[in-house]
Amino acid sequence: MAILEPVKVAGSTISKTTLHNEDFIKEKGLKIGDTVVIQKAGDVIPEVVSVNTKKRNGKEKEFKMPTVCPICGAPAIREEGEAVIRCTGIECPAKTLRNIIHFVSREAMNIDGLGYKIVEQLIEKGLIENISDIYFLTLENIASLKKNGTKFASNLIEAIENSKQNDLYRLITALGIRHVGVKAAKILAKRYKTIDNLMNASLESLSMVEDVGEITADSIYTFFKNEQTIDLIQKLKTAGVNMTSIEDENVDNRFENKVFVLTGSLENYTRDEASNIIEKFGGKVSSSVSKKTNYVLAGEEAGSKLTKAQSLGITIITEEEFEKMIN
C-alpha cells in the first residue's frame, strides 16, 4: 500500500493506493519518499501511474519486502513463479481465523458446529488464540456464546472430542501445508504412517513419494522444520489428537491400479462418498477422462466426460454395477 500526502483526484481525496506486489513496485521504480502521478483506474480505483524522478532529492529509500513476518517472526517466503510473499507460521495471529476455519472444515478435521461466526466469536472473546486451543475449550466457554447455549455447547464438545480419533490424513489436510490437498494427504499418511515419521522425512524421501513433486516435497519439508509447526504438533499431541494412520493394513485392494472418473449425479452416494469407497479399495479417482481411465461411473445427466469415454472405448458403469463391484 502506498501512503500518500492527501490529494484531490476526480472529486475524491486520495491518501493511499494499492501497490499490488513486489514486482509492481520494481516495475514502477518506486522508492519511499517519491513524488508520484496517480489516477483513478476506471474512474473508481486509485492507482500509481508513474514516478516523477525530477522531484527526487536523494533522500528517497529503496523498499525491501520483509524476510520474516512482522506479526509472528516466522520466515516470509516467495515461491518461484508467484508474485506474493507468504508468512510460513501456522500459529501466526494474523492468520488465526482462516487457519482455524480450514482446520475444522469438512474435508479436514470435520468438526461440525465450528462455523465461521462461532470461530470469530471465540477469537474475539479470547477463548482461542491458535488451532490447538480448540481442544481445550470447556462447555462453559462455548455455552457463553449463545443464550441458552448448553445444548449447542454439548454437541460441539462431542464433535471436537470425536475429531481426535480422525485418521492421520485428515490432520495432514487440516494443517494447511502449501500444495497439499486431501489426495496428497492420504498418500503421505499411507506412506509414513505417523506424523513423527512425516516430520522427520528427508527432502529426498518426500520427493520420491508418488504424486508428490519437488515443489510440494520442499513445501512439506520446510513446513515441518518451522518452530511454530513443531510447537502446534506437540500441543495437539498433548490434547490427545490421533497422530497415526488407522487404515487397516489388510485392506481389500480390489481396485488397485484402477482409475475411475465420476460424472453425473448418483442416487445413493455423494461424489465424495463414492470417491472414498474407490480409494478405500486401492483405486484412484481422476477428474478427467484419458486413455489411462479404466472405468467411468456415470450417473444422471452425465455430460462431456461420458461422451469422451464412449469415444475412447472406456468401460462405463452404472451406479447399480458399481454397487455390485463393491459389495
According to the model, what pLDDT value does residue 248 have?
A: 57
What is the pTM for the complete model shown? 0.70
Alpha carbon separation from 52 to 23, 24, 85, 227, 240 (Å, rounded): 19, 16, 28, 44, 60
> Strand, coil or helix: what is 113?
coil
Alpha carbon separation from 260 to 278, 322, 325 (Å, rounded): 8, 11, 13
Distance between CA 189 and CA 195 in Å, rounded?
Answer: 8
In this structure, what are the phi and psi dihedrals at residue 101, rounded to the nearest 5 degrees?
-60, -45
How large is the average pLDDT for residues 262-291?
91
How large is the average pLDDT for residues 75-95?
91
pLDDT in tens, 148-167: 889 999 999 999 999 999 99
Alpha carbon separation from 102 to 67, 98, 118, 176, 180 (Å, rounded): 25, 6, 14, 7, 13
**Helices and strands (DSSP H and E) totals, the chain:** 14, 10
pLDDT in tens, 87-137: 999 999 999 999 999 999 999 999 999 999 999 999 999 999 999 999 999
251: confidence class by pLDDT, cuts 50, 70, 90: low
Q: Are 44 and 14 in contact (CB under 8 A)?
A: no
Cell of 271: 461424489
Distance between CA 201 and CA 256 in Å, rounded?
Answer: 26
| 194 strand-pairing partners | 244
Q: Which domains does the chain have, with CATH numbers?
A: 2-55 (2.40.50.140), 68-247 (1.10.150.20), 259-326 (3.40.50.10190)
Contacts of 166 (CB under 8 A, 6+ apart): 109, 110, 241, 242
According to the model, what pLDDT value does residue 272 have?
A: 86
Q: Given a cut of 70, is residue 234 above it in pLDDT?
A: yes
Give the DSSP H or E segment for 47. strand 45-51
Q: Given a cut of 70, is residue 249 above it in pLDDT?
A: no
Burial class (CB in 10 A: 0-12, 13-18, 19+), 229: buried
How large is the average pLDDT for residues 235-253?
85
Length of the chain, in residues: 327
